[in-house]
Amino acid sequence: MKAMSRSALSLFLCLSFVCASPIEQQGGAKITRNEAEHIALARYPDARVTAAKLEPVQGNLVWSIEMARPKSKKITEVAVDAMTGRLATVKKGGH
């Protein structure tokens, strides 16, 4: 009986880590990657997303979205606040 209880407890603990909530999987962000990409694309509708990552910036969680415009080699980086969904910063580069 004890072995069965231990097995059940082990299974429960394993599943609780595997089945983490979406917010836990995003490091506590309220805005999903998909939502952040849509926010960035609303600002630059002709661009396409080339990369996105969640990162801490000056104590805030931010989705860093890299975007490319058609016929341009320049990359635009849009930072979307992962808690509020507001555009934080826009950087234009020359990759």
Q: How far apart are CA 66 and CA 77, in angstroms?
A: 4
For the 23-92 domain, the top CATH level (class) is: alpha beta
Q: Element (H or E) spanning 33, and its range?
A: helix 33-43
Which percentage of the chain shows pLDDT scores above 90? Answer: 51
Is the model's pLDDT at 56 over the cut of 80? yes
Is the model's pLDDT at 2 over the cut of 60? no
The whole-chain average pLDDT of the chain stands at 78
Q: In the chain, where are the structural domains located?
A: 23-92
Q: How far apart are CA 67 and CA 41, in angstroms?
A: 9
Is the model's pLDDT at 6 over the cut of 70? no
52 against 18, higher pLDDT: 52
Owner of token pair 């934080």: 88
Bridge pairing between strands 48-57 and 87-92: unpaired
**Length of the chain in residues, anyone?**
95
Is the model's pLDDT at 21 over the cut of 60? no
